[in-house]
Structure 1
Amino acid sequence: MSTSQPDASQPEASRRSADRATPDSLLHARTGTDVSPEDIVLASGKDLTPRNLEWARRKLDEEGPTALDKMLP
């Protein structure tokens, strides 16, 4: 089955909802737990080094937990 052709066995409402993009606010993976400097470093793709951890601490101090949300798709 081609993804460009709708599945005739699905109701039209289901097909329409499948065509919509997920809102950005629902794509973030943070679960409400505390964000650590390690989380920030790893989300940025950097190595866990003392220098990168200090950078992440400053970023958390300035931006709070939303610093991680800004880095995630």
Structure 2
Amino acid sequence: MSTSQPDSSLPSDDMATPDALLHTGSGGDVTPEDLVLAAGRDITPKNLAWAERKLAVEGPAALDKLLP
């Protein structure tokens, strides 16, 4: 008999970040790495510099603007 839920013992092709690893700035300090990852970018020196500038201007609200 078929079920509507996939077999959890099989490896998943889903590459989404697990909920336990996601957080917003409301629970602590927002880091440039948080902002880069929330934007869906790779952590590179260029992207970290972008995030540092954005945090300097917008503060922790910068992260809230990226997350739904």
Give 1:64 deviation, angstroms.
0.1
Q: 2:60 aligns with which of 62, 65, 68?
A: 65
The alignment-based identity, stated in percent, is: 64
- Where structure 1 has 5 or more consecutive residues not aligned to the other structure, the ranges are 1-28
Correspondence 1:31-70 to 2 at 5 A: 31-70=26-65
The alpha carbon displacement at 1:32 in A equals 2.5
Runs of 4 or more above 6 Å deviation:
none
Question: 1:72 & 1:36 partners in 2: Cα distance?
Answer: 15
From the two aligned structures, give the one with the greater helix fraction. 1
Cα deviations across residues 30-51 of structure 1 (Å, max 9, x unaligned)? 2420000000000000000000
Equivalent position SS for 1:46: coil
TM-score, normalising length from structure 1? Answer: 0.59
Larger-Rg structure: 1
User: How many pairs align?
Assistant: 45
